[in-house]
Amino acid sequence: MRVLLPFLALYRRHWFLILLGMILAIVTLLASIGLLTLSGWFLAGAAIAGFPGLYYFNYMLPAAGVRGAAIFRTAGRYAERLVSHDATFRVLAHLRVFAFSKILPLSPGGISRFRQGEILNRLVADVETLDHLYLRVLSPIFAAFVVIFVLIFGLSFLDPRLAWTLGCVMLFLLFTLPFVFYRAGKPIGQELTALRAHYRTVLTSALQGQAELTLFGALPRFRQTLSNIESQWQVRQQQQADLTGLSQAIILFASGFTATLLLWMAADHVGGNTNPGALIALFVFCALAAFETLGPVAVAFQHMGQVIASAERVSQLIDAKPEVTFAAEGLSLTQLDSLVVDNISFTYPEQPFAVLNHVSLTLQQGQHLALLGKTGCGKSTLLQLLTRAWDVNSGSIKLNGHNISDYSEQALRSIMSVVPQRVHVFSDTLRNNLLLANDKATDKQLHEVLEQVGLGNLLENEQKLNAWMGEGGRQLSGGEQRRLGIARALLHDAPLILMDEPTEGLDAQTEQQILTLLKEKCADKTLVVITHRMQGLENMDMICVMDNGEIVEQGSHQALLEAKGRYFQFRQRHLQQQAV
């Protein structure tokens, strides 16, 4: 239960609507009870009025009371649902924004252990489950508690003995049923939450990889996995439905038993009146109506297992600490005069081996650097450290003589353009995918940069810049996606450009075109390129060869050839492959 406390604190933001919803729920319940109670007494009193010896019966006031109670019940129910759901939706909206604001600083390190579908499930389904906390738990219990004491107080004026009998039975059920059904429903609710999350994660993966699953004939296996999860899910839902039916049966039994008990007790006398007449009907119908109050209580606590499990899953995101914390009032940065990597080492969390060991390099404004090395030697990690996706374990990275941690996030993002290995294309228009880099760019600039990177063919349709890219840019080839990333980097026009395999997947002619473009556009910019290819390296100011997280060679193209080390071997192997 303690895990719910942070979420209960969010309710204070909308305390007025929440309190108003509870008050309306109480009024509606009292009106509903009053309607049946008054109607039963009215009909019984009208029937008894025809017996000899009873010559006077005022039917105007009870008739007006019945109409008033009916109006209050209808209007109150509508208003209560309107206010309660509005308050719940406001709380959920606030919670989603709050959770998302906590997730953003975690990227990429803090959320690397979560799958994409899992994060989406926590933000949507788990947060939505938390609406049970108010609508199905807090409001029904509070309303039932107040209504029971109002009934005891009101009925005590007629007969305290009958009033407390009804009140004690209802209080006993109010305090025992939630506990019993919470214990019975907790494991079911927790497994339902886990199955729902697992189902949606597998479904998301299947939808995203549908093309690959179809090509490799693995789609039936994924469908069978989904079917198995769904079967387990349905079994648990059936168990929860069985508990719901049992709770309602107990309420119905208690309602009939209490009404019978009150009928037997009232037959003797009511409030000292040995001829109670219609008052017997008043207590019996009041008991039948009053148990409507307890209906949602037992059912609500069956869902507490789901609520607690969802709260724990959301809390895992909210309470996670970001790997990198940016200074709120950090230094500003408009141009890059120098980039110094001084003896840095880095190990990923919970990994036994270091990815980078004592790496050092220095770049001045306008210098171009190429990083070579086999896969897994630490090249991409070095680029991530330059963007401060992670913080180094030892050593330092300095921009213009200041530690990279001294700058605000906005300052760092403004002076860097990054082309990662995997360029993400949003399910949006071509225009909006480009405007991510520069929202002030004109259509003319967008046309020009697309032509420069060889993507002018994307404009050869009626939609032009309004063409829809689709989920993940599936209609684009890998080379086209990479060139779209290069177009974004050029539009951003930052003094430091970081590229991870920018020409991977391009044919020789397009590759040469891109390298020529980069040489022209980045003449006065600092450029760091990760590559496995040998084309264009003669134009680099410095080449660093990496192995096992260390820089084993560095220097100019000509100097490294003359040294006849690793770079020379790479070059010779490349020439042999070309000859073949």
Q: What is the CATH number of the domain that holds 261?
A: 1.20.1560.10
Look at residue 61 and tell me whether its pLDDT is greater than 60.
yes
Instruction: Please report, for residues 110, 276, 310, 413, 444, the alpha-carbon distance to residue 44 in angstroms, rounded to integers and kept in the order given.
Output: 69, 11, 51, 79, 85
421 falls within a domain: yes
Average pLDDT in the 553-568 region? Answer: 83
157 falls within a domain: yes
pLDDT score at 17: 86
Strand order in the sheet with 356-364: 356-364, 338-346, 394-399, 402-403
User: Do residues 547 and 421 both lie within one domain?
Assistant: yes
Cβ contact 476:430 at 8 Å: no
User: Do residues 402 and 543 both lie within one domain?
Assistant: yes
325 falls within a domain: no
The strand pairing partners of 396, in sequence order, are 342
Average pLDDT in the 265-288 region? Answer: 81
User: Do residues 310 and 395 both lie within one domain?
Assistant: no
342 falls within a domain: yes
222 falls within a domain: yes
Locate 300 and state its tokens.
């609500």
pLDDT score at 349: 77
**Euclidean distance between CA atoms 247 and 299, whole angstroms:** 7
Q: What percent of the chain has pLDDT over 70?
A: 93
User: Do residues 117 and 246 both lie within one domain?
Assistant: yes
Look at residue 333 and tell me whether its pLDDT is greater than 80.
no
**Euclidean distance between CA atoms 525 and 4, whole angstroms:** 52
* pLDDT digit string, tens, across residues 469-527: 776 666 777 788 888 888 888 888 888 888 888 887 777 788 788 888 888 888 888 88
DSSP SS3 for 402:
strand
User: Do residues 288 and 423 both lie within one domain?
Assistant: no
State which of 290, 318, 346 marks the end of a domain. 318
pLDDT score at 217: 83
Cβ contact 560:567 at 8 Å: yes
Phi, psi (deg, nearest 5) at residue 390: -135, 160
State which of 288, 318, 348 marks the end of a domain. 318
Task: Tally the domains of the chain.
Answer: 2
User: Do residues 104 and 45 both lie within one domain?
Assistant: yes
User: Do residues 111 and 173 both lie within one domain?
Assistant: yes
User: Do residues 466 and 519 both lie within one domain?
Assistant: yes
User: Do residues 69 and 14 both lie within one domain?
Assistant: yes
The strand pairing partners of 418, in sequence order, are 498
The domain that contains 342 carries what CATH number? 3.40.50.300
Task: Please state whether beta strands 402-403 and 550-555 pair in parallel, antiparallel, or not at all (unpaired).
Answer: unpaired
pLDDT category, 49, cuts 50, 70, 90? low
**Euclidean distance between CA atoms 500 and 431, whole angstroms:** 24
Average pLDDT in the 179-196 region? Answer: 82
509 falls within a domain: yes
- Tokens 């040469």 identify what position? 512
User: Do residues 137 and 280 both lie within one domain?
Assistant: yes
Cβ contact 517:534 at 8 Å: no
191 falls within a domain: yes
User: Do residues 361 and 270 both lie within one domain?
Assistant: no
Which residues constitute the domain of residue 344? 338-579
Residues 6+ apart with CB under 8 A from 266: 159, 162, 276, 279, 280, 283, 284
Please give the angle made by the CA atoms of 139, 142 and 145, to the nearest 5 degrees.
145
pLDDT score at 240: 85
* pLDDT digit string, tens, across residues 63-112: 787 888 888 888 888 988 898 888 888 888 888 887 777 777 776 666 66
State which of 289, 318, 347 marks the end of a domain. 318
Cis amide linkage into residue 349, ω under 30° from 0:
no
User: Do residues 161 and 205 both lie within one domain?
Assistant: yes
330 falls within a domain: no
**Euclidean distance between CA atoms 574 and 580, whole angstroms:** 10
**Euclidean distance between CA atoms 423 and 65, whole angstroms:** 70
